[in-house]
Amino acid sequence: MSSYKLGLDFALQQDQNDELKSYKKQFHIPKNPEGKEVIYMTGNSLGLQPKQTKTYVDQELQDWANLGVEGHVHAKNPWLSYHEFLNESMAKIVGAKPMEVVVMNTLTANLHFMMVSFYQPTKRRFKILIESDAFPSDKYAVESQLRHHGFDDKAGLILWNPRKNKELLNYDDLESILETQGNKIALILIGGVNYYTGQFFDLKRITQLGHKYGCLVGFDCAHGAGNVKLNLHDSGADFAVWCTYKYLNSGPGSLGGCFVHKRHAYRKDLNRFTGWWSHNKQTRFNMRKEFDQLPGAEGWQLSNPPILSMAAIRASLDVFNEVGMEKLTKKSKKLTGYFEFLLKALGEDVIRIITPENPEERGCQLSIQVKNADKTLHRKLTESGVISDWREPDVIRCAPTPFYNSFEDVYRLVEKLKTILNA
């Protein structure tokens, strides 16, 4: 959009015309000690609480109090099948078929469970390729998988590096790696949206490239789920994992999500760790039956899920279901584009944005570097009433989230930044 304008009037006009403007009132916005709402720009770290979450959780607390164990069958939302209430909504958000998706465990645990099935190294093909600045937990996880299988965690790890003096990754470089080492790579694991730069990768392109060289391909979509259109089914990826406490607003440490492509749905030859919740639902409680694996992503479950956490997820997913990713991403691109416009107006000799300029190659996060700044700048921004995120060595991450951030929020954030810089 080339018609952005400076000044508060423009921001207020955009908010007036915003079809999603009413949703901000559906979230609890944190306040400063004086009782004034802060400008919250860290939905990429922890999403805000929908006001209806309490009602959803209270319902399960009430059923537990009144029914005890009978709540598994007789609760208003029976606990035995509670995870099934989430499948369809979650599938829409990540662009998958309902049978390809399940909510379970937490992010890194799910990553390990997926690697049990989709990292099957041989003496000749055992390497794992990740982005050089992958989220640390992903790097630690793949290193431990290499060690677990008896390989050296340095020799077995291949890093997709950016070019000299660049932050963003180049697909030609990925192709070069695969041309020279593809026959040694067992698994490609990439963060769907890079946590640091905000670069949104072409999942389909990476998957097709990996499959061309016989590699299995998975994605960590922690920064993508609820932020961008992932289209996981169409990407052809073998698996994906994500958390729900960032853009999906489910609360700190809440459960994660898993995607397993439909082509693997009925494969009983895939190695996996199992538990009773991946067993046939009809005979699950006949304790002496031999294991009978469920088809689809549900077949990777282990234990009965924590209902209170799932209730919070359901509360948020119902808001997503009401709006849909189409409208959310449309507003997101406009809001982030406006943010970019205002930052550039401060002068590109002062502010540098390391996130891709192309709206199709990013979500709502912009990662900014301020010339000659250190963490003091971030502290002053926080003291001024802006909740953003500092990442070493010199990046401030801000994510104007379409559900609860407004154009006025973005305008006032940049005005506060300008005041601090001028001082």
Q: Please report, rounded to a whole number, the percentage of residues in the chain having pLDDT higher than 90.
A: 93
pLDDT at res. 157? 98
pLDDT in tens, 23-49: 999 999 999 999 999 999 999 999 999
From residue 48, how far is each of 27, 90, 232 by CA, in Å? 6, 18, 25
Residues of the chain within CATH 3.40.640.10 domain(s) are: 58-322
Which tokens go with 408? 């006025």
CATH level 3 topology of 8-44+324-422: Aspartate Aminotransferase, domain 1 (3.90.1150)
CA distance 413 to 339: 9
> Is the pLDDT reported for residue 374 higher than 90?
no
pLDDT over 80 (residue 345):
yes
In the Cβ-directed half-sphere of 84, how many Cα atoms lie within 13 Å?
9
Residues 37 and 29: their CA atoms lie apart, in Å, by: 6
More confidently predicted of 350 and 28: 28
Residue 224 scores a pLDDT above 70: yes
Q: Residues near 121 by Cβ (< 8 Å), separated by ≥ 6?
A: 149, 151, 186
Q: Residue 370 above 90 pLDDT? A: no
| Arithmetic mean of pLDDT, 416-421 | 94
Averaged pLDDT for residues 138-143:
98
Report the chain's mean pLDDT, rounded to a whole number: 96
- pLDDT at residue number 411: 98
Mean predicted confidence (pLDDT) in 175-179: 98
Span 58-322 CATH architecture: 3-Layer(aba) Sandwich (3.40)
- Predicted confidence (pLDDT) at residue 199 exceeds the cutoff of 60: yes
DSSP track, 96-149? --GGGEEEES-HHHHHHHHHHHH----SSS-EEEEETT--HHHHHHHHHHHHHT
Name the least confident of 57-71, 221-235, 236-250, 343-357.
343-357
Helix or strand or coil: residue 94? helix
pLDDT of residue 2: 62
Q: What pTM did the predictor assign?
A: 0.96
Q: What is the pLDDT of residue 348?
A: 84
Over residues 231-241, the mean pLDDT reads: 98
Residue 389, pLDDT above cutoff 90: yes
- CATH 3.90.1150.10-classified regions of the chain: 8-44+324-422
Tokens of 283: 């005979």
pLDDT higher than threshold 60 for residue 1: no
Mean pLDDT of the 8-36 span: 96
pLDDT for 423: 83
